[in-house]
Chain A
Amino acid sequence: MLPVLDQNEDHHYEMSEYEGARARWCPGCGDHSVLTAVQRLLAAEQLIPEQTMFVSGIGCSSRFPHYMKTYGFHGLHGRALPVATGIKLHRPELTVFVAMGDGDCTSIGAGHWLHAVRYNVDMTAMMLDNGIYGLTKNQTSPTTPQGFKSNTQPFGSILPPLNPLEVVLGITNASFVAQTAEWAPSHLYATLRAAYKHKGFSFVRILQRCPVYTPSIFQRAVQDPDRIQLLVHDDGVVTPDLEKLYKSQLHHDPRDLAAARHLAEQTDRITLGVLFKDSSKPRYEETRRVAPRTPAERVALLEKEFARYAV
């Protein structure tokens, strides 16, 4: 690993120092809440901007890196995770966040998603799930509620929506699975913080509304706090300010995978919190870590290799 070059050890980073370009999402878009929570997190953790990476795919939420004052990689639709994996394999000392939309992550990039969970490379993967393709103007995504009318399924979404939590919790070597919501900022912040602190692949599904195309998909839950179930545990997310609002609370131990899967299956109410967490799972970039070699060492080794092939 390369030494972390902190050029300015005494410098205290203000939240504004993590702000990149002015965010150009629609007013009222949930992406703004996530951006604010993330900038707050970076300031709280005093992450060094040049040691921090935001990797994204394509979609509204994938503009995320542009709005951060860190290094960013705004790549291809569905393919943020392989790029992030490559960065982390080569430069494990960098802190990596990934921003993906629901189409990005669970549709065109679904294959990478499954395997990224299994690799368990240390990064925070945020899936900003508004249940619609917004950038391309209102097409059904895998998480669009059944019956929801869009430009591609004008008579209503045909299939029941894919449940990302069930998917992730079904993958061997999953190590951190949480769900939060853009309309509960303190929970969003606390969840992202827990995800960041977790060593491994932290998958956070962030429920959010698209003010243009899906303004009402979570309306009932927003208006009726009893439709929300808050997971509470010392090893999960603690948000005392929300405990009065969300009276339905469940003491859930995030180490209990069976219980987590059971919770993920529940669709009658929305569960917020850390469903699963296991820090003991092997991390791919750690298991693949190799001792670096100097050019001279490599040449000496290569001479030995050639000796094996000598005529």
Chain B
Amino acid sequence: MSASATAAPAPPKVLRVPEHTVEIVSDSGEGAQKCGQIFGAVSAKMGNGVWTVELIPAEIQPPPRVPEGASGNRIRLGEHTVTNWGDHTHLVIAFNEQVLLARHRVDALADDAVLLIEDKWARSEDADIVAQWNAAMKELSGKHYRIIPVAMEDECLTIVDNPKKGKNMYALGLLARIYGRDMELIKAQIAHAFRKKSEEVYNQNVALLELGYHWAEDNIDFRVEIPTHAAEKPLVVMNGNEAIGMGAMAAGMELCAMYPITPATSVTHYLSEVFEKFGGVVHQAEDEIAAAGVAIGASYAGKVAFTITSGPGMALKTEFLGLAVMTETPLVLVNVQRGGPSTGLPTKVEQSDLLAAVFGQTGDAPHIVMAPATIEECFHIMVTARRLAEAFRTLVMVMTDANLATGVSPYPKPELDEKWQAAALDLAPVKDGQKPYDWNPQTGLSERIIPGRPGGMFTLTGLAHDDRSKVAYSSDIHQHSSAMRSRKIAVLQSLLKPPTVYGDDSGDLLVVGWGSTKGAIEEAVDRARKDGLKVSALHLRFLSPLEPGLKEIFRKFRKVMTVEINYSDETGDPYVTEENRRRGQLSILLRNATLVDVDCWGRVPGEPLRPMSILEAIRGRMPRGGAK
């Protein structure tokens, strides 16, 4: 802790760094997120790598000045592409000391972080608040933070009546000065963010922005410079849920049936605004089950539809998912995973639905499960998912998570292709002798018949059936139809390429991940390799079927370990033995498929994994005698 900045303007010290992480935290509803979003967007436009995550309290309106209410944004800026939220925050703007404490207590802040904090609480007439402030300062003094008090509201009061509204723009001004952001770009971004508001609102926000900027100019004795590079290709910036929504439109889907559930719903907030222009409908069903039913009905009748949900919703849809598989009706389900079981951690990231996704349906229900690893992949995966659902006449699950859903990062604008979209409906009469399930005996693949095609009239049924869709209970027919549905999964695997190892393709340890952890894992592997460890990483997009060639890849490493955001027992925990150890979900799939003794490391912190935690796990799990 050090003294506050002096008012004497001296040339600021310039801190030139390859990356820096910023947080803006406030009570819910004070606009910290808007400030963070604009800062992130402008930084991306200026040529920095950016990864933004929302800090979301679990309640809509938590009481003011409590740590649980901390709300805001964390923005990691880099000279190059940023793939994850990093380890620690280097600079924080906090609107009160309690929300700052929340970040301190979860070890979010670097030991030498700079904390700019609204200090009106220290001067409060309420003795309780002053006591809370003093207690907080004492708690924070355990680290080497540099605390800079800023009289934000008093400053804002010089130009507005209600400083609660607009303090976020003042904070944006502070950041603009400290990070040398282009003020014209910021103003354009403010105009965009408040495009639905009056010009007066815009002018006031710009005035507050400039007020903050000038205060920082006069009072902050350092600046941060992160080298920028102009992008080679045009970039777009969005969160993973918006990318999912755009991907669905790029795939030519026309119906999204859903029921509100965090953190999936924002996909449909976005789609509801634009989908109709694209000839699509978002149907908000009466419940999760109906959402699946409506999507299946629409898919059956024509183009592949999709439903979007999170863990509890996927559980409710289970029976319909089995029906889609049994009737070979194409369907895309997006599961934006959150912490579980039960209601769990609704706004927080977890990867605990993998086994439920692959095996959670009753009966034998073979289907496809995929997971995008980046926000960019959230877009492209929807195109792939629709195609696979149609070609393989089955359910395709897309497993994303709260980290991708709320993370914002730029990626190269996709080169759109009309061929990504579903073909127009074919209502030609069915061919002579064509059956509803004309299974190719080798592949199990068949062409589906949609209603409206003359001569095709048949009844689709969730009961066991033969290739004419006739209800059939005989054992040989059920054996055969089960084989046909299952075969398709093997056929898909035969068409996939083996995954590419990140780093050397042999070594001491291979870290295997899936979903949103890719960036953090690879960053940890890079650091480990710099330290001389023979570590590589492998990231899987297909979970059912698994990508081919895994056994061959694994053979070239002394040890294989998954890194996942799901719970697994630690060896050495009380009662935990080699036989009863509950393992990471991907590791269970990999052990089953390869018979390799795959280890696992998982955590469920309710936040994305930090590269440093993964690095620590790598160091701790290196095979004995392997590390140098």
Chain A positions near chain B (C-beta within 8 angstroms): 2, 5, 7-8, 20-21, 49-51, 53-55, 58, 65-66, 68-76, 79, 81-91, 93-94, 111-112, 114-115, 288, 290-293, 295-296, 298-299, 301-303, 305-306, 309-311
Contacts and interface: CB of A to CB of B under 8 A. Distances in A.
A71 B456 contact: yes
Interface in B404-458: 410, 413-414, 416-419, 421, 425, 427, 429, 451-458
A82 B294 contact: yes
A79 B451 contact: no
The range of chain B's interface size is 35 or more
Contact of A82 (B238, B254, B285, B417): B285
A-B pairs with lowest CB-CB distance, top 5: A86-B297, A82-B293, A72-B459, A293-B279, A86-B294
Contact of A73 (B44, B246, B257, B459): B459
Interface string B290-324: 11111111111111010000000000000110010
Contacts of A305: 246, 249, 274
B415 to A, nearest CB: 10
14 contacts: A2-B425, A50-B453, A74-B462, A76-B323, A86-B293, A86-B295, A87-B300, A90-B254, A90-B255, A90-B302, A90-B303, A306-B414, A310-B234, A310-B237
Interface string B221-240: 00000000001001111100
A88 B451 CA distance: 11
B277 interface: yes
B358 interface: no
Given A94-B452, A299-B418, A72 B460 contact: yes
B74 interface: no
B135 to A, nearest CB: 43
Nearest to B254: A90
Interface of B: 41, 44-45, 231, 234-238, 242, 246, 249-250, 252, 254-255, 257, 274, 276-281, 283, 285-287, 289-303, 305, 319-320, 323, 410, 413-414, 416-419, 421, 425, 427, 429, 451-463, 470-471
Contacts of A76: 293, 319-320, 323, 462
A73 B460 contact: yes
Interface centre among A84, A87, A88 (most CB of B within 10 A): A87
B242 A299 contact: no
A300 B469 CA distance: 41
Contacts of B303: 90
Given A5-B454, A65-B459, A90 B283 contact: no
A114 to B, nearest CB: 8
A91 B452 contact: yes
A124 to B, nearest CB: 16
A298 B421 contact: yes
B460 A111 contact: no
A296 B234 CA distance: 21
A306 B236 contact: yes
Contact of B290 (A7, A66, A111): A111
Contacts of A89: 255, 281, 283, 294, 297-298
Nearest to B274: A305
B421 A91 contact: no
A115 B452 contact: no
Given A65-B459, A85-B297, A86-B293, A311 B452 contact: no
B462 A85 contact: no
B458 to A, nearest CB: 7
A311 B453 contact: no
Nearest to A54: B459
B429 A82 contact: no
A311 B188 CA distance: 12
A123 to B, nearest CB: 11
A267 B453 CA distance: 46
B300 A83 contact: yes
Interface centre among B276, B299, B410, B454 (most CB of A within 10 A): B454
A306 to B, nearest CB: 5
A86 B451 CA distance: 13
B427 A2 contact: yes
Contacts of A94: 301, 451-452
Nearest to B449: A71
Contact of A87 (B238, B297, B419, B427): B297
A291 B252 CA distance: 14
Interface centre among A21, A86, A309 (most CB of B within 10 A): A86
